[in-house]
Amino acid sequence: MLPESVLNKLNSLVLRKKVLEDQLSSEGATEDISKFTSLNKEYSEITPVVELYGNYNHSLQSIQESKEMLDLEDREIIELAKQEIEDLESSQAVTKLQFLHRIYCVFTQDFVKGKVGNLSL
């Protein structure tokens, strides 16, 4: 599980992505090309992180559903659920590493540029 502070930041990025989508698709969005470019840049920076977070949440949900199948009496289903949990936990670990790598890259870029950007943790 990710630390609560990271989860809070990620949830705020999900909301920010939605706001950016609305702003970028609004009528007259391109009237101020400088603002449009800035919003588009921010959108392109946070989208990969938000997508990884979605994958992470999906795997958490799938793991929970598979664990619920362990309570069934059918041995074949239990064995399938165990394998599914193992596969999902492995996939979740990879997603978590991708996630942390992406956050690190963005944070490092901001630090090198002399600013601590939106993804500071």
List pLDDT tens digits, range 58-111.
888 887 888 887 777 778 878 887 888 887 777 777 777 776 777 666 666 655
Q: Could you read off the pLDDT of 41-51 as tens digits, one per residue?
A: 999 988 988 98
- Secondary structure letter of residue 26 according to DSSP: S
| Cβ neighbours of residue 39 closer than 8 Å, sequence gap 6 or more | 20, 23, 24, 29
Buried b vs exposed e over 56-84: b needs ≥16 C-beta within 10 Å? beebbebbeebeeeeeeeeeeeeeebeeb
In a domain, 63, yes or no: yes
Band (pLDDT 50/70/90 cuts) for residue 8 is: confident
Q: Does residue 34 carry a pLDDT above 80? A: yes
In a domain, 77, yes or no: yes
pTM: 0.67
In a domain, 85, yes or no: yes
| Residue 17 to residue 118: CA distance in whole angstroms | 12
Burial class (CB in 10 A: 0-12, 13-18, 19+), 112: exposed
Name the residue range of residue 20's domain.
Answer: 4-112
In a domain, 45, yes or no: yes
- Secondary structure letter of residue 72 according to DSSP: S
pLDDT in the model for residue 106: 61
pLDDT in the model for residue 48: 86
In a domain, 100, yes or no: yes
In a domain, 120, yes or no: no
pLDDT in the model for residue 16: 94
Domain total in the chain: 1
In a domain, 118, yes or no: no
In a domain, 16, yes or no: yes
